Amino acid sequence: MGFLQGFAYGLFLSCLPWLIIGMIEPRLAVPVDPPTRWQVLLRYWLIIPFIAFILWATSLFGGFGPTLGGWVAGLLAIFVAIPAERGLRGWLRRRAERRREAEREAAAARERAALERKAREAGLAILDPEQPPVGADELVRALCQTKGDLLKARRPDLASQVDRIYTRYTHVNEVLEGKFDARELTFERSLNLVREVSWTAVDNLNTMASVARGVRGVDVENVRGRLSRQAQMTDEERQALERRLELVEETETRLRELGARNEAAITALDDAAVAVSAVSTDRPRASVAANQALEDLRQFVEKAHHYGRQGE
């Protein structure tokens, strides 16, 4: 009880210097983020003095006087408690961030699975970033790598464009191979144009992966939650948080612009497939026109009947 009584005296006396320090620089006396002078007043004018009073009143039942060890412990309690509390809050904050990170990755995985399921239902070919298709050319391998970069940036919604471009690219190639001979100059020119359009889309997707990776570490929900408590932060901190949201919005605008370019490339590939499919390259196997063939067949039938009657 003597130690407890000395601790209460030392804790109570240490409140005044910490109150003065906190009013001058709140960050030194309050281990919260963001620190304010109201928190300093609440902590060192009300909460800790009340705790010291409760400890002192409890120690009176023992009937012992305050000890030197209690005095020293009380005087050093706040000095030790501030970094300890700051470390505990930092650990809790990091754990919450890790939990949010895991939740975001799980949500991205669910979204990726849903997009892949929709793609399979729509008949789209799905690329595996780790295992390109057998016999894949340089463009398809580049698409696989780009899709892997987009998935690492937690943007499966953008990665789905890779599958669509790959599907269109392979479809146009199949149509060209079915309509033209590989030795024809038209086939070579058409194939080069298709590849040029597809490479443009690959470049756009690489830029999208780089841009999305730049804001991957920004927790938008956390920033918006902190901005909703503007009364508890300084103007400098509020401006910094608002700038983070502006960066995210600018990034999303840039991604939408690049996505629109990719949609134009996909449309161009669809147009090419339809146009090539409409080209008639088959040579007629019949030696005469269809009307002439029907007329000859009718005359043959009449002669056959006439020949049968003569035989009777």
pLDDT score recorded for residue 190: 76
pLDDT score recorded for residue 192: 82
Residues 6+ apart with CB under 8 A from 18: 29, 44, 78
Q: What Cα–Cα distance (Å) separates residue 308 from each residue in 27, 294, 311, 312?
A: 117, 21, 5, 7
Model pTM? 0.53
Q: Which residues of the chain have pLDDT under 70?
A: 62-64, 112-113, 115-125, 180-184, 186-187, 216-221, 223, 225-233, 279-312
Residues 6+ apart with CB under 8 A from 153: 209, 212, 213, 216
pLDDT score recorded for residue 304: 55
**N-to-C CA span, the chain:** 141
C-alpha to C-alpha distance for 159 and 19, rounded to whole angstroms: 55
Mean of per-residue pLDDT scores for the chain? 76
Q: How many CB atoms lie within 10 A of CB 175?
A: 19
pLDDT score recorded for residue 230: 63
pLDDT score recorded for residue 288: 47
